[in-house]
Chains A and B, each alone.
Chain A
């Protein structure tokens, strides 16, 4: 009995840590909007706290998820897929910043679930940054944002298995329909994720990128509405119209092109081997 109770308790603990950790991380990303609420003397400390919080949260969440991932199959898949992701990311940097890594994160998150998707996002950024030598204060923020892209795909609607029609021709049609519907869902999510990713990455860096004294600058004293408008314009000219749009297009094209085959490959990895 005690074993069962403690297991349940640890599960509850784990969801608390995951939920709390992700909420805190979201708050750290949005630090510019919280500064106004803090006493004037403490305002200087807010960005520093946010910068320290994100890496600490990555470690905390990684520690929480590590035990769950400690099986040979998960570790091997996680390692190999993050290598593929990093290779895609580095190859993409060579062809004018065409970011195709979301294709992998979304497809793998969809098949193996939110927690796997989250870790895959973290590791893909970690491996590519290590390999390319681009480690910096921005890396933890990228890791979190990519982790959320993978996790979000794992949280998407899973429709229940309908009983397939027995007639072979109609069964094949039904299966094709379901497959196309899934690809459409994932592609739509890819577009949303691409723009949200851009917004998130702009959000924490915006005060640093523009500095003070311009029309779109972040003003600690101004009301949130004005800051929001400034941020919206900053984001629009910085990435939404350019990088994020390219990323959204790449993701949709990638999911449509290789999605069915990659989903099949990932799902077959859980199936029986050839005899």
Chain B
């Protein structure tokens, strides 16, 4: 509760001195500094005011005693200011409201304060990220900084709210769960008013099974999953018809917070849903909001961590987790109540090969050894080929329940044939010379050199943390001279517009580049920035990338809010914005994350188009099929270095 911090005290002293000076100035101006018989220091002419102000006189004689009196009379208030500065310097008020967050009459406001506190580091991180994105897009307006930061913050708030809701925050009653029938859908239907809908859902899932929901992007995998978690009906304002029973509870009338005791949920972007500051508190959150005694919470946290073999992470601050570790912590947090039903939304999207294998194994064990009913929505179906017991496939507005024998895996990506470039030009389009990137103490990219020829599509491979993203960013925004040369120019010396004609990057968090409220406006801004003629540039390119013949065919998309587009469409929009400058070198970080086969085909066609414009493309990816199908050569990275000599695929 107590600690010493000198800054508030210093500020209070400055404020108090300012207050005293201000009081003296008021007295001088409004005729109050002339008391006493002292020699007059300065005799200013008196100025009488008229009308309603006739009782006032400005200026007048100033005496030493008058000035002293003015300063003296201000001392009591100045002392109060300093006193509160002292209190601020000594008392740690945050620790007071953290105690009120669990229960009591002000728990909503106290919890809001705790969340506000936890939001600050995320806010700083967000500002840092968006500043990079802004430089990549070549924007300088305030809106391009504030709007993406704000959007991210709102997104975080909603993810956090959903995660708190499913973990029993603000629960009024605890519903008992029945283990025998985890999921029973009888003639159920789901819709969001008009547009998308799923009808005639009849599914029964057994305990101890692993079920995978598959379907194209936008087919409603996540909505179906959340119709089981209850967020669809009670958080996202979806409409449910028919009957959905979760472990005996009627989902239509039971909000997620009341079933937190037996339903666990791992959300799509687990980091956004973290509600505590350490791994320990995060795993124990569900129990803590239910008012379980701290020693019991501690014991349960240790038990779950041991089961997932993440005991070493327990004391770690939540923001210091790698993507794979964060997924495991989120799974542990969902398991702490021993759920009957565990729901997982796209657990593999962010993970590299080894982390994927680990998460798949854990989920399989939970179903087949611990007897949990596990349901997950996933694009990466191959990883669950051996473990899934049931496949639920969404086709149109119908759901098909398939056994492992019946389920057919999506075909390997079909790539349109590459137009062979007769002879690769002898002069390299771009050369990277001895590029290094340092993050604090670590060397993220260590002395990397390679050359790129026009028309090449280069896949950059490597595990999480190998330095792929750092390398791509350093090529797009080099900080040292003579490290990145594109088409004969040193990129570091180029101005905004020139730099974008040389090299453009589509970052992993591509949403950061979007800040307008319609797609059309987003395209207009990009055109204006590049001084392109109206409707000739970005919008046309966007329509082309999506496979439309004419821009007018994409008119319905141009009216929408950019963040309401599907993930694939949004990625194409950002690629269009970055390609509109016709860069010689296009860099794309993780272009297939969270995309289904159709969207991947869309993106690969877009990359081929980009390479066709006598340019070159480098893309970083974890996706084997995508890299193999598209790349003309592969660069491998490990620990900041290019590990293998350059191999040319034939």
B55 contacts across to A, CB distance below 8 A: 215, 222, 226, 229-230
A62, A83, A172, A269: the one contacting B116 at CB < 8 Å is A83
Pairwise interchain contact A213-B116, C-beta atoms closer than 8 A: no
Interface range for A: 35 or more
List B residues 190-204 near A (Cβ within 8 Å).
192, 196
| Cβ-based interface call for B533 (8 A) | no
Pairwise interchain contact A80-B111, C-beta atoms closer than 8 A: no
Pairwise interchain contact B109-A80, C-beta atoms closer than 8 A: no
Pairwise interchain contact B31-A80, C-beta atoms closer than 8 A: no
Pairwise interchain contact B142-A257, C-beta atoms closer than 8 A: yes
Pairwise interchain contact B165-A72, C-beta atoms closer than 8 A: yes
Pairwise interchain contact A69-B108, C-beta atoms closer than 8 A: yes
Pairwise interchain contact A233-B56, C-beta atoms closer than 8 A: yes
Given contacts A87-B123, A132-B8, contact A213 B32 (CB under 8 A): yes
Least Cβ–Cβ distance between B291 and chain A, in angstroms: 15
A225 contacts across to B, CB distance below 8 A: 52
Pairwise interchain contact B52-A275, C-beta atoms closer than 8 A: no
Pairwise interchain contact B157-A76, C-beta atoms closer than 8 A: yes
Least Cβ–Cβ distance between B229 and chain A, in angstroms: 12
List A residues 188-230 near B (Cβ within 8 Å).
208-217, 222, 225-226, 228-230
How many angstroms from the CA of A230 to the CA of B53 in the assembled complex? 7
Given contacts A72-B161, A133-B7, contact A63 B106 (CB under 8 A): yes
How many angstroms from the CA of A237 to the CA of B238 in the assembled complex? 56
Pairwise interchain contact B146-A73, C-beta atoms closer than 8 A: no
Beta-carbon nearest neighbor of A273 in chain B: B236
| Cβ-based interface call for B544 (8 A) | no
| Cβ-based interface call for B27 (8 A) | yes
B425 contacts across to A, CB distance below 8 A: none
Beta-carbon nearest neighbor of A63 in chain B: B105
Beta-carbon nearest neighbor of B6 in chain A: A133
Kindly specify which of B218-226, B408-416, B472-480 makes contact with the partner chain.
B218-226
Kindly specify which of B74-82, B180-188, B598-606, B623-631 makes contact with the partner chain.
B74-82
Kindly specify which of B296-304, B378-386, B559-567 makes contact with the partner chain.
B559-567
| Cβ-based interface call for B517 (8 A) | yes
Least Cβ–Cβ distance between A262 and chain B, in angstroms: 6
Pairwise interchain contact A123-B566, C-beta atoms closer than 8 A: no
| Cβ-based interface call for B114 (8 A) | yes
B105 contacts across to A, CB distance below 8 A: 63, 66
B566 contacts across to A, CB distance below 8 A: 274
B563 contacts across to A, CB distance below 8 A: 268
| Cβ-based interface call for B213 (8 A) | no
A87 contacts across to B, CB distance below 8 A: 120, 123
B84, B123, B559: the one contacting A136 at CB < 8 Å is B84
A271 contacts across to B, CB distance below 8 A: 237
B12 contacts across to A, CB distance below 8 A: 136
| Cβ-based interface call for B540 (8 A) | no
| Cβ-based interface call for B535 (8 A) | no
Given contacts A130-B93, A264-B517, contact A82 B157 (CB under 8 A): no
Pairwise interchain contact B8-A216, C-beta atoms closer than 8 A: no
Majority DSSP secondary structure for residues of A touching B: helix
A241 contacts across to B, CB distance below 8 A: none
Pairwise interchain contact A83-B108, C-beta atoms closer than 8 A: no
How many angstroms from the CA of A156 to the CA of B11 in the assembled complex? 38
Kindly specify which of B148-156, B244-252, B427-435 makes contact with the partner chain.
B148-156
Pairwise interchain contact B88-A268, C-beta atoms closer than 8 A: no
Given contacts A71-B170, A132-B8, contact A79 B116 (CB under 8 A): yes
| Cβ-based interface call for B530 (8 A) | no
A76, A135, A136, A233: the one contacting B160 at CB < 8 Å is A76
| Cβ-based interface call for A260 (8 A) | yes
Least Cβ–Cβ distance between B434 and chain A, in angstroms: 38
How many angstroms from the CA of A217 to the CA of B31 in the assembled complex? 10
List B residues 43-61 near A (Cβ within 8 Å).
49, 52-53, 55-58
| Cβ-based interface call for A23 (8 A) | no
| Cβ-based interface call for A265 (8 A) | yes
Pairwise interchain contact A72-B116, C-beta atoms closer than 8 A: no
Beta-carbon nearest neighbor of A76 in chain B: B161
Given contacts A80-B160, A258-B146, contact A275 B219 (CB under 8 A): yes
The listed residue with most B CB atoms (<10 A of its CB), out of A86, A232, A266, A275, is: A275
How many angstroms from the CA of A61 to the CA of B564 in the assembled complex? 38
Pairwise interchain contact B70-A84, C-beta atoms closer than 8 A: no
How many angstroms from the CA of A228 to the CA of B55 in the assembled complex? 12
Pairwise interchain contact B108-A70, C-beta atoms closer than 8 A: yes
Least Cβ–Cβ distance between B11 and chain A, in angstroms: 7
Beta-carbon nearest neighbor of B147 in chain A: A261
List A residues 57-109 near B (Cβ within 8 Å).
62-63, 66-67, 69-84, 86-87
Given contacts A75-B111, A215-B32, A269-B158, contact A258 B53 (CB under 8 A): no
| Cβ-based interface call for A246 (8 A) | no
Given contacts A72-B257, A86-B116, A258-B147, contact A210 B30 (CB under 8 A): yes
How many angstroms from the CA of A264 to the CA of B74 in the assembled complex? 48
How many angstroms from the CA of A270 to the CA of B235 in the assembled complex? 9
B146 contacts across to A, CB distance below 8 A: 258, 262
B8, B165, B192: the one contacting A134 at CB < 8 Å is B8
Pairwise interchain contact A79-B119, C-beta atoms closer than 8 A: yes
A257 contacts across to B, CB distance below 8 A: 142-143
Pairwise interchain contact B108-A133, C-beta atoms closer than 8 A: no
List B residues 5-63 near A (Cβ within 8 Å).
5, 7-8, 11-12, 19, 22-23, 26-27, 29-32, 35, 49, 52-53, 55-58
A79, A215, A265: the one contacting B56 at CB < 8 Å is A215
List A residues 122-172 near B (Cβ within 8 Å).
123, 126-127, 130-137, 172
Beta-carbon nearest neighbor of A219 in chain B: B55
Pairwise interchain contact B153-A84, C-beta atoms closer than 8 A: yes
A82 contacts across to B, CB distance below 8 A: 112-113, 116
Pairwise interchain contact A127-B108, C-beta atoms closer than 8 A: no
B160 contacts across to A, CB distance below 8 A: 76, 80
| Cβ-based interface call for B619 (8 A) | no
A77, A214, A229: the one contacting B157 at CB < 8 Å is A77
B49, B115, B157, B218: the one contacting A269 at CB < 8 Å is B157
Pairwise interchain contact B161-A216, C-beta atoms closer than 8 A: no
A216 contacts across to B, CB distance below 8 A: 26, 30, 56
B515 contacts across to A, CB distance below 8 A: 261
Beta-carbon nearest neighbor of B123 in chain A: A87
How many angstroms from the CA of A65 to the CA of B87 in the assembled complex? 29
Pairwise interchain contact B109-A66, C-beta atoms closer than 8 A: yes
| Cβ-based interface call for A187 (8 A) | no
| Cβ-based interface call for B510 (8 A) | no
Pairwise interchain contact A83-B120, C-beta atoms closer than 8 A: yes
Given contacts A72-B169, A214-B32, contact A133 B142 (CB under 8 A): no
Pairwise interchain contact A137-B113, C-beta atoms closer than 8 A: no
| Cβ-based interface call for A119 (8 A) | yes
How many angstroms from the CA of A130 to the CA of B26 in the assembled complex? 31
How many angstroms from the CA of A264 to the CA of B151 in the assembled complex? 10
A6 contacts across to B, CB distance below 8 A: none
Pairwise interchain contact B142-A80, C-beta atoms closer than 8 A: no
How many angstroms from the CA of A52 to the CA of B236 in the assembled complex? 43
Pairwise interchain contact B30-A215, C-beta atoms closer than 8 A: yes
How many angstroms from the CA of A233 to the CA of B56 in the assembled complex? 10
Q: Which 10 residue pairs spanning A and B have beta carbons closest together?
A: A133-B8, A79-B115, A214-B32, A215-B56, A76-B161, A83-B119, A136-B84, A80-B157, A79-B112, A214-B30
| B interface residues, Cβ below 8 angstroms from A | 5, 7-8, 11-12, 19, 22-23, 26-27, 29-32, 35, 49, 52-53, 55-58, 69-70, 73-74, 77, 80-81, 84-85, 87-89, 93-94, 105-109, 111-117, 119-120, 123, 142-143, 146-147, 150-151, 153-154, 156-158, 160-162, 164-165, 169-170, 192, 196, 218-223, 235-238, 257, 515-517, 559, 561, 563-564, 566-567
12 A–B contacts from the bound complex (CB under 8 Å) = A62-B106, A79-B111, A80-B119, A82-B112, A83-B117, A126-B113, A209-B19, A215-B56, A215-B58, A264-B517, A268-B154, A272-B237
